[in-house]
Structure 1
Amino acid sequence: MAPSTRPIRIGGVSGAATDRRHAMAMLAANYPNDPVDVLIGDWMSEANMTSRATLKIANGGDAYEPTFIEALEPALKDIARYGIKVAVNAGAADTALLHKVVTGMVKDKGLDLKVAWVSGDEVLPAVLKAQKEGKSRFENICTGEVLDGWQFKPVYAQAYLGGLGIAAAFAKGADIVVCGRVSDASPVIGAAYWWHGWKRNQLLELANTFVAGHLIECSNYVCGGNFTGFKSLEMKGWEDIGYPIAEIASNGQVIITKNRGSGGEVSTQTCSSQLLYEIQGPWYFNSDVTAILDGLYFEQLGTDRVAMRGVKADLPPATTKVGLTAVGGYQAEVHWFPCGLDIPDKVRMMEVQVRRMLRPFADKFTLLNFSTIGVAAENASNQNAATVDCRIVVQAQNAEDISPAKFLRPCIDPIMECYPGATPHLDLRLVKSMENISSHTCANHLGFPKPIQEYYVSLLPQADVEHKVHLWDGLSVDIPPPPQSKTFPSQQPSVPSAQISRPTDSGTTVKGPLGWIVHARSGDKGSNCNVGFCKILLSGGAWDARHTLTTLPITF
């Protein structure tokens, strides 16, 4: 296919393994009224990177994301009918198996669709080799510790790949490309790179497309999902918020919109909120390019149409992020539900009693945490409104160390001596008798030990990644690392501390929550998160990152 001169229209149909499954079929079926050239979806997160990895290592079942199959199957006929391309990262920890499953589905439906898959994200051997040879200490980018000091043994590692493998697959004629841990925005980069016939040195086009990919990879977020201005969406159909479409021109110019007739909105405010998601400074890294965000701004072109302006570009980093998974031991939890008056005192009484009961076993715990979730309503009109959730969580290296006899029973046994109205979570329906509560016959109950995973984030040279595309005919294409790269400082550029302005008139100062004057978005990257703020626009206008973008890293 020759490079196209018209903008490519890319629809984002999933932002998580638990996203609604109807979007791919809906956008594909509506092609005659609202055409899209490529459907992309993000099914990966740090949560399922670890869970699927341990599933694969334990031979516990299929280690790809099954909800992708649920989304793809009803869409396949329209994908074939209208010539729509698909690129997703739903392979999780077994992309080769997902490719086999999708190929079988296509064959069973009698469709002429070519399916390719991308490998190279599985990098544990490369990490262990570099560690053994002393080439890298693999410093944790969140905590600063080094891998030799990590108390857990890595069993799996995945590197974040760029989008050029996807572009190469489309260039060879693929209709569907399934990937493992490509970065969330890489399917958009790959689609636009292929569509417009770009080269690796077209950094500005790549940077714009990278940010566009970030805006739409979380599906509904940029259309009003998880938006702190959500109350304004009620009259715009918040019961069924739409899915985003990125229109990307050959020069990299980007317009964000959504599927026609859907609920929610695409505005400078929803776009700025999604931009802030997981961003920790003006440098935004991908294996293919670095986007510079300090001059970015949005412009409202019309209803549900927002242009992105001012992105700058730099060379990609020489490294890529790598996530390591380890078996972390076991976890169990118990809940108490204090109600009514004096809740802090009730919680304190319960905690003292439970800690005493757990004392004989506590030396084996690696974690014991008591937390109160929620606040009882003042002058509550019913029992539920007057109740909070007190959660007790325990972790240990061995399941036996937090068996029901050593955790669940000690947590609920103080019920008769505890605060007035003491009520723990007593859903023990799977336990045949109280005698069996000391055994492991009820593994689905919260109070019983369940395996957990640990996650460690570091950097790996892109040159150590064997990025490869596997075609339907058995042939493969190698994707080399970037010919040019750049080493960036470990810390993002900072900005001066905000200056507190004082009122200049004699008006009344009203104390109120920060959310009255700014929107905010939080990130979700495990132990290292960020919170971003941007001004609320009371009327139309362009949101401008040069004046209002603030992100604060928060490490727990």
Structure 2
Amino acid sequence: MAPSARPIRIAGCSGSTSDRRHAMRVFAKNHPQDPIDVIIGDWMSEANMTARAVAKVDGAGEAYEPTFLEALEPALPDLARYGIKVAVNAGASDARGLCEVVRKMVHAKGLKLSVAWVEGDEVLDAVRAAQKSGEVAFENVCTGEVLRDWGFEPVYAQAYLGGLGIAAALARGADIVVCGRVSDASPVIGAAVWWHGWKSGDLDQLANAFVAGHLIECSNYVCGGNFSGFKALEGRGWDDIGYPIAEIGADGQIIITMQKGGGGEVSVDTCTSQLLYEIQGPWYFNSDVTAILDELWFEQLSTNRVALHGVKSGPPPPTTKVGLTARGGFQAEVHWFMVGLDIDAKARMVESQIRKELAPYSSRFTKLTFTQNGTSPPNPTNQNAATVDFRIFAQAPTAADLAPTRFFRHCIDPIMEGYPGATPHLDYRQGFPKVVHEYFVTLLPQKAVQHCVHLEGGERIEIPPPEVTRVWPRRQPSAPVTALPADLASFGPTERGPLGWVVHARSGDKGSDCNVGFWVRRADEWDWLRTVLSVEKMKELLAEEYEGKEIDRFELPNARAVHFLLRDHLDRGVSCSSSLDFLGKNCAEFLRARHVDIPVKFLARGKI
């Protein structure tokens, strides 16, 4: 049973494997002055899903995330002292193994903390059985490609589990719950279900907890990290951005706040920024519930306290997302520096020379790209500012195809015949082949998932799939233009300049899809934004980045936001992408830099 009927306070201490490790310790130590009930953390991404999967298959090193242990170990005494629960997905591809390590750590400190682990995310056998029977075609949710046509042999598959296993573990006395691939928001859902005693049919409450989980699972992001309004945070401790707390009431009411003393802020804008990150449309799916976002909005209650409103709910889909990992071959790259004048001609010269050198071997490459990164400004005042990076990137099926004698050597051999100032990067390690993992995103019926919890005493609890589900349309609702266009002339005189002068934006990756959300600060700016930002305008803004692929668009009018899903924009996803923006996070910043006609009266209010 939960300690009381008051709102549960859930703290987010990690958003990635490389997040700073101090937050869990600080939350636990400061409990008397800033009490929390549960600490959650996200250690999973599509990058380490593939890397840890192959590590497990090959028996090569830990298949869980060891950085979690660095965060947990110094916090353990205070977690035990104050009765703070922990739920994380740091098990990656070996939740059981991580659980065993944590139990030994707890026992070595003489603490009485019960550690449970959640099983069921490993589903390669289920995928193979369903594929063999023909029950499921396994279509890639990003590209539409069918698994049998993928061209790679899966070695591992992980399903995204919901939060009810975590709730069951906490209800049976677990203090620390270790999971593998649960969805990013599932620890928050599980903690709230446990605390308030919700049932699987309490969809409104679950949907609100789901969105709260999305808001805090990326740690600092909702407190000002990765925020297009970051310049305003310079005097608010941007050298040490704080970590978030979600307060969730019994009726599902959500307030987002942050730890006392942390830098940054929790505001309507930082919450909007995090909301728009990684969503795919107005329907947001989880194994436990579907959150419907089109009427969502935020309210600033006071400093660093923001209320969430307008979330609607629907049953979860009968399927859950699955990520399949395959061995994808190898890649290598070489960089040259170009300075000052005639950058385009210099790039053409060295590319032609390197292509000729590589000609005997490049037929074996599956990808070979030459990209010019950056520009040299007119009349530069220092040499570094005038320096442009030129990148040669290759992928191939085997390491032998990219051996130094077949790739790296031929990329640097033209140095004596090169452009004026020809200088290669001296980190030659990048030119040697490294492993690439291919990743395929699809759906698996939830009934095929064997979701269960293992408690400290050996008890096993099975978590059944949801009884009530809904088959949602395959494509999210999309409107290429707004239904309520404004007369752009009515906004008065305009000035040509970057969209980001008056518009916030945020982007991110899901597989090979890239989502980009834009929002404005004031009501009259909203009518202008939704009129200007059509699908056709997005194609124009993308310019040379647009490759003819589909773009979905929907509006969140209460949040004054327009969201776009750029389908298959990211070259296969983070684990095997050839793009510098392999996480899709800089797409928004590129688009904010593109020029549009902006009403002068908006600029008079001050630029972002």
TM-score (norm 2): 0.87
Task: Look up the match of 1:492.
Answer: 476
Task: Look up the match of 2:590.
Answer: none
* Residues in 1 aligned to 2:30 and 2:226: alpha-carbon distance in whole angstroms: 26
Select the residue among 445, 455, 461 that pairs with 1:461.
Answer: 445
Pairs within 5 Å for 1:435-514: 445-498=429-482, 499=485, 501-504=487-490, 507-514=492-499
- CA-to-partner distance for each residue in 1:471-493, whole Å, 9 max, x for gaps? 11111100000011000001101
Q: CA deviation at 1:544?
A: 6.8
Is contact 1:293-1:545 (8 Å) kept? no
Change (3 A) 1:122 1:34: same
Counterpart of 2:495 in 1: which secondary structure? coil
Task: Look up the match of 1:546.
Answer: 558
Counterpart of 1:388 in 2: which secondary structure? strand
Task: Look up the match of 1:438.
Answer: none
* Residues in 1 aligned to 2:522 and 2:238: alpha-carbon distance in whole angstroms: 20
Q: CA deviation at 1:377?
A: 2.8
* Residues in 1 aligned to 2:443 and 2:556: alpha-carbon distance in whole angstroms: 32
Is contact 1:115-1:175 (8 Å) kept? yes
* Residues in 1 aligned to 2:378 and 2:516: alpha-carbon distance in whole angstroms: 30
* Residues in 1 aligned to 2:95 and 2:426: alpha-carbon distance in whole angstroms: 41
Change (3 A) 1:547 1:25: closer
Pairs within 5 Å for 1:94-493: 94-428=94-428, 445-493=429-477
- CA-to-partner distance for each residue in 1:477-522, whole Å, 9 max, x for gaps? 00000011000001101235044642237x5320111112221110
Q: CA deviation at 1:391?
A: 1.0
* Residues in 2 aligned to 1:59 and 1:71: alpha-carbon distance in whole angstroms: 25
* Residues in 1 aligned to 2:190 and 2:557: alpha-carbon distance in whole angstroms: 26
* Residues in 2 aligned to 1:447 and 1:315: alpha-carbon distance in whole angstroms: 50
Change (3 A) 1:425 1:306: same
Change (3 A) 1:191 1:306: same
Task: Look up the match of 2:55.
Answer: 55
* Residues in 2 aligned to 1:233 and 1:200: alpha-carbon distance in whole angstroms: 40
* Residues in 1 aligned to 2:249 and 2:379: alpha-carbon distance in whole angstroms: 58
Change (3 A) 1:245 1:547: closer
Is contact 1:369-1:393 (8 Å) kept? yes
Q: CA deviation at 1:23?
A: 0.4
What is the number of residues matched between the two proteins? 537
* Residues in 1 aligned to 2:231 and 2:385: alpha-carbon distance in whole angstroms: 22
Q: CA deviation at 1:378?
A: 2.6
Select the residue among 527, 531, 534 that pairs with 2:519.
Answer: 534
Is contact 2:315-2:470 (8 Å) kept? yes
* Residues in 1 aligned to 2:3 and 2:83: alpha-carbon distance in whole angstroms: 16
Q: CA deviation at 1:548?
A: 1.9
More displaced 10-residue stretch of structure 1: 528-537 or 112-121 = 528-537
Structure 2 unaligned blocks of 5 or more: 527-554, 570-608
* Residues in 2 aligned to 1:547 and 1:224: alpha-carbon distance in whole angstroms: 18
More displaced 10-residue stretch of structure 1: 383-392 or 473-482 = 383-392
Q: CA deviation at 1:537?
A: 4.3
Is contact 2:519-2:559 (8 Å) kept? no
- CA-to-partner distance for each residue in 1:430-478, whole Å, 9 max, x for gaps? xxxxxxxxxxxxxxx1111111100000000000000010011111100
Task: Look up the match of 2:577.
Answer: none
| AA of the residue aligned to 2:158 | Q
Is contact 1:3-1:197 (8 Å) kept? no
Q: CA deviation at 1:213?
A: 0.3
* Residues in 1 aligned to 2:347 and 2:11: alpha-carbon distance in whole angstroms: 49
Query: Quick one: percent identity of the two aligned structures?
Result: 65
| AA of the residue aligned to 1:7 | P
Q: CA deviation at 1:29?
A: 0.3
Q: CA deviation at 1:547?
A: 5.9
Counterpart of 1:522 in 2: which secondary structure? strand
- CA-to-partner distance for each residue in 1:415-444, whole Å, 9 max, x for gaps? 00010000011235xxxxxxxxxxxxxxxx
* Residues in 1 aligned to 2:155 and 2:296: alpha-carbon distance in whole angstroms: 40
Superposed CA RMSD in Å reads 1.5
Is contact 1:188-1:210 (8 Å) kept? yes
Counterpart of 2:392 in 1: which secondary structure? strand
* Residues in 2 aligned to 1:538 and 1:82: alpha-carbon distance in whole angstroms: 45
1:516 aligns with 2:501: yes
- CA-to-partner distance for each residue in 1:110-169, whole Å, 9 max, x for gaps? 100000000100000000010011111100000001000001100000000000000000
Q: CA deviation at 1:2?
A: 4.5
- CA-to-partner distance for each residue in 1:378-404, whole Å, 9 max, x for gaps? 322222111111111111111111100
Change (3 A) 1:544 1:33: farther
| AA of the residue aligned to 1:548 | R
Q: CA deviation at 1:208?
A: 0.4
- CA-to-partner distance for each residue in 1:65-108, whole Å, 9 max, x for gaps? 11101100110010001000000000111111100110010011
* Residues in 2 aligned to 1:21 and 1:537: alpha-carbon distance in whole angstroms: 37
Is contact 2:556-2:562 (8 Å) kept? no
Task: Look up the match of 2:4.
Answer: 4
* Residues in 2 aligned to 1:8 and 1:21: alpha-carbon distance in whole angstroms: 24
| AA of the residue aligned to 1:504 | S
| AA of the residue aligned to 2:220 | N
Task: Look up the match of 1:432.
Answer: none
Counterpart of 1:220 in 2: which secondary structure? helix
Q: CA deviation at 1:57?
A: 1.1
Is contact 1:269-1:537 (8 Å) kept? no
| AA of the residue aligned to 1:553 | L
* Residues in 2 aligned to 1:459 and 1:493: alpha-carbon distance in whole angstroms: 19
| AA of the residue aligned to 1:15 | G
* Residues in 2 aligned to 1:508 and 1:103: alpha-carbon distance in whole angstroms: 66
Counterpart of 1:306 in 2: which secondary structure? strand
Change (3 A) 1:545 1:308: farther
Is contact 2:523-2:560 (8 Å) kept? no
Task: Look up the match of 1:433.
Answer: none
* Residues in 2 aligned to 1:319 and 1:136: alpha-carbon distance in whole angstroms: 11
Is contact 1:407-1:447 (8 Å) kept? yes
* Residues in 2 aligned to 1:152 and 1:446: alpha-carbon distance in whole angstroms: 25
Task: Look up the match of 2:531.
Answer: none
Change (3 A) 1:102 1:300: same
Is contact 2:298-2:559 (8 Å) kept? no
Q: CA deviation at 1:196?
A: 0.4
* Residues in 2 aligned to 1:259 and 1:427: alpha-carbon distance in whole angstroms: 41
Looking at both structures, which has the greater relative contact order when contacts are Cα pairs under 8 Å and sequence separation is at least 6?
Answer: 1
| AA of the residue aligned to 1:406 | R
